[in-house]
Structure 1
């Protein structure tokens, strides 16, 4: 029996990369996975992999996270079918373009903000009541090191991830007296399609695979986890308390 047997997990951006690997890892530990992504083919491949590894099926939700009303409906659908949610892995994200701030097209900036910030807020609003119905709700929100480094040419992505981390910290503070534990995750450089677009000259063989990241995230989904409001750095395998002193 896996460490997450009987738990219900929602994973966004589950058709590839870290989301795909995390969904598979959650399923191997016994969780039933609700997989959200735009790419239907990727979701079907995920379901095939989960069936092969566990004999169980995932619940596939083909959805564009810029469709805010659809995110609202998702929480209601989960409530009607299961009545609660144990794990949220908010992994979906948009890179945008790597270019000077003043050269970023408005539609690109809007897409990055919509997917990285607005859709995550909408998702939190939609599923928070379900996570609070769990005996040990766990929420992981994927961030990036650029949220702290203000790297040149990464304006929209860096700004969105910085804002996202603050949003997650606020959410964690609000839930401090509940059983819900909320943390951000910095996976570090990982062998994904997004990373390849951002660093086209990089040798992917030098980077950890998404499955390597996923195995560490499983621990953060455990009912035994007693950490909230922090940033988990996968490469360092540790939590960072980045709250500023009063």
Structure 2
């Protein structure tokens, strides 16, 4: 058996590109998807086991059976939820809470569930796919003031970054925990100026995991300098 990765939001965009990249480089992958057991525009590569799982829910029997007693070398919390951009008076609290459920509570639930499997691995890594827009210091500096980003996305990604820091502090020396900004990806959730191919980001993510970097917590920007929290 190869190293095992668990990837959420795995049937399109960066999630699917990451599944393919890892599979092509010898990993076994559990591909967690919310609505479809099939990936967008094709079929699953060899070594990939699809599992229907909504990260807003507690782990199901299907996920429990798929993981079993295997050690998990890599958890990629990629599933994400935003909300339409709007002014203060138009923001719905339900949309904000849903984003927090997917982007923050979702990774927390999976980390709690998989922790025994992660701790059984020799050098496990948790990757929370974050965003530069979750940097509180950059937002406070006004670096992204010209972008029409929703409250829900900014707030939830900042909260996800704090989750990453908190996990890293508790799991110090046992599990490395990284927040990873993949770049401005040309996906359905990308900004209008996004041009980076998800396959490029997936390759850079695999290379980062294989680099042996010991820094934890870390706020990585794939293909660029690390970001300020």
Query: TM-score, structure 2 length as denominator?
Result: 0.86
Q: 1:14-53 maps to which residues of 2 (within 5 A)?
A: 14-40=10-36, 42-43=38-39, 48-50=43-45
Q: 1:142-153 maps to which residues of 2 (within 5 A)?
A: 142-148=129-135, 149-150=138-139, 151=145, 153=149
Unaligned runs of 5+ in 1: 51-55
Conservation of the 8 A alpha-carbon contact between 1:139 and 1:221: no
Tell me the alpha carbon deviations over residues 154-180 of structure 1, each in whole angstroms, 9 at most, x when there is no partner: 2111010001101101111111122x2
Tell me the alpha carbon deviations over residues 185-204 of structure 1, each in whole angstroms, 9 at most, x when there is no partner: 01121110111xx53xx4x5
Is 1:109 paired with 2:93?
Answer: no
Q: 1:184-195 maps to which residues of 2 (within 5 A)?
A: 184-195=179-190
Is 1:58 paired with 2:48?
Answer: yes
Aligned residue for 2:158? 162
SS for the counterpart of 2:210 is coil
Partner Cα distance (1:213, 1:103) in 2? 34
Conservation of the 8 A alpha-carbon contact between 1:181 and 1:227: yes
- CA change 1:72–1:240 in 2 (3 A) is farther
Aligned residue for 2:142? none
For 1:10, which of 3, 6, 13 is the aligned residue?
6
SS for the counterpart of 1:239 is coil
Aligned residue for 2:122? 135
- CA change 1:86–1:45 in 2 (3 A) is farther
Partner Cα distance (2:79, 2:127) in 1? 11
Query: TM-score, structure 1 length as denominator?
Result: 0.81
Mean CA deviation greater in 94-103 or 183-192: 94-103
Conservation of the 8 A alpha-carbon contact between 2:133 and 2:157: yes
Q: Which has the higher helix share?
A: 1
